[in-house]
Amino acid sequence: MRLRATAGLFASTTLLVTAFAVPASATPVPSTPNAAHQPSKHQFSAAARSFVGADTVEKRVAKLEAAMATLPKESTAYNATKLWNAGITGAGSTVATLVSFGDDKVKQVLATYSKNHGLPPANIEVIQPSGPVPACTDPGVDTATCQGWGGETDLDVTMMHAMAPNAKIIVAATPVAETQGFTGLPEMMHAVDYMTEHKLVDVISMSFGTTEENFPSFDSIKTLDPALDRASKAGITMVASSGDDGPTGGYLYGPGNYPYRVASWPASDPRVTTLGGTQLHLDANGNRTKPDDVVNVADNGFAEGAGLSKTYARPNWQDGVKKITGSKMRSFPDISMEGVHGTSQSAPLFAGVLALAVQAKHGKLGQINPALYEKLGPAGTKAGIVDVTEGDNSQDGVVGFTAAKGFDIATGWGTVDASVFVPALVKALR
């Protein structure tokens, strides 16, 4: 059912935006000197950008097929199919993707893709909790940006469905494009609160991010945290992509990236489980031909994000890896999955894995980071943790982080074997 906007809803949205207003006394954080221009647009992956101009279901399915022709093989690569054979398919769980604009054709697009790839029909609901979402052709809407978000939406739900084919999927679409800094984020946090208050979801996936330096101050970022706090206390697990600019990130007023290491929010937030990007090397049957490595695609100009926050101190559950990070600040990512189309691919894939765990646990998982760091990560393969030891995320002349044996900043604990990770996670959370 599509949510109808009401006067009360608009009032609550206005109050929310006011609540996130930044004090005038906040200390500015450096950005590019070109501050008279509009904030940079959201930086989509090449796969999401390919949807620009695809204004029919047929065109969108064709773009999805081009980007994700091998996606069902990932179900085999991560051993999700072993869980399916045991009856763990995500049934009874609900996972949401939080996006600007969404795609009004998402149900038809995923239905066609699923039929083409032997996946069951998907159960999708689209909601607009922060106000009515404009059409991509409406006056004042940047059509390319809107259609890019439509592509992001289609990619997100496809990856969730490929991991957890019987999970319910909610598309929470917001009416303001997330760009850099605060733009679009109050509406997104309002959507998080709406889903929390109405008990709609078990897992929320966020395929977006903005450089910490692009907020008026580092402390101002924390004004966005209350919604994430409330969701976490309600047992909702939140996952986010780590970014696609390697160890750096885009200026508030682009183009270009910072010439030094920066971090992205919400990836840097300790309330979130952050996904880095790795690359699978598969044969025609979905079996690995060699170990996964860090995504760093020079010809596409992106590398998976990884780094250290300047906003959030190291949480207690990361104390066990403090000698590795060498920092008093929160490091990310926490874990990694396939991200050849950007880490906006990795996050919904892992959200799908978590949907399987929700079914296996018969209930919400809540914050999984303590279990990941204190129990699962140190147990390694016995807990379904697959180490990633090759590659780094250096990009744009900024030296990044290198994968190594065990935990590392580049990939977190590595990646997962879902058939072992899911039951191990459920056991660790009991």
What per-residue confidence (pLDDT) applies to 5? 32
Share of the chain above pLDDT 90, in %: 77
CB-based burial of residue 118 (10 Å sphere; 0-12 exposed, 13-18 middle, 19+ buried)? exposed
Terminal-to-terminal C-alpha distance of the chain: 34
What per-residue confidence (pLDDT) applies to 287? 85
Among all chains, which residue has been given the structure tokens 């894995």? 353
Kindly state the average pLDDT of the residues 190-200.
98
Distance, in Å, from the CA atom of 127 to the CA atom of 242, rounded to the nearest integer, reads: 25
Q: pLDDT tens for residues 214-271?
A: 999 999 999 999 999 999 999 999 999 999 999 999 998 878 899 999 999 999 999 9
Whether 89 and 166 have beta carbons less than 8 Å apart is answered as yes
User: Other C-beta atoms within 10 Å of 379: how many?
Assistant: 15
With 50 as the cut, is the pLDDT of residue 23 above it?
Answer: no
SS3 track for 82-106: HHHHCCCCCCCCEEEEEEECCCCCH
Q: pLDDT tens for residues 75-130?
A: 999 999 999 999 999 999 999 999 999 999 999 999 999 999 889 999 999 999 99
Q: Which of 70, 127, 71, 80 is nearest to 99 (CA)?
A: 127
The mean-pLDDT minimum among 31-35, 47-51, 88-92, 332-336 falls in 31-35
> For residue 107, what are the contacts with CB-CB under 8 A and spacing of at least 6?
122, 124, 126
DSSP assignment of 227-284: HHHHHHHTT-EEEEE--SBTT--B-SSSSSB-SS---EETTT-TTSEEEEEEE--B-T
Mean pLDDT in the chain?
89
Q: Give, for 17, the enclosing helix (H) or strand (E).
A: helix 7-19
Q: Which of 192, 103, 111 is nearest to 158 (CA)?
A: 111
Distance, in Å, from the CA atom of 80 to the CA atom of 423, rounded to the nearest integer, reads: 12
Model confidence at 301, in pLDDT bands (50, 70, 90)? low
Whether 192 and 116 have beta carbons less than 8 Å apart is answered as no
Strands (E), 12-152: 94-100, 123-127
Report, at the CATH architecture level, how domain 7-13+39-429 is classified: 3-Layer(aba) Sandwich (3.40)
What per-residue confidence (pLDDT) applies to 91? 98
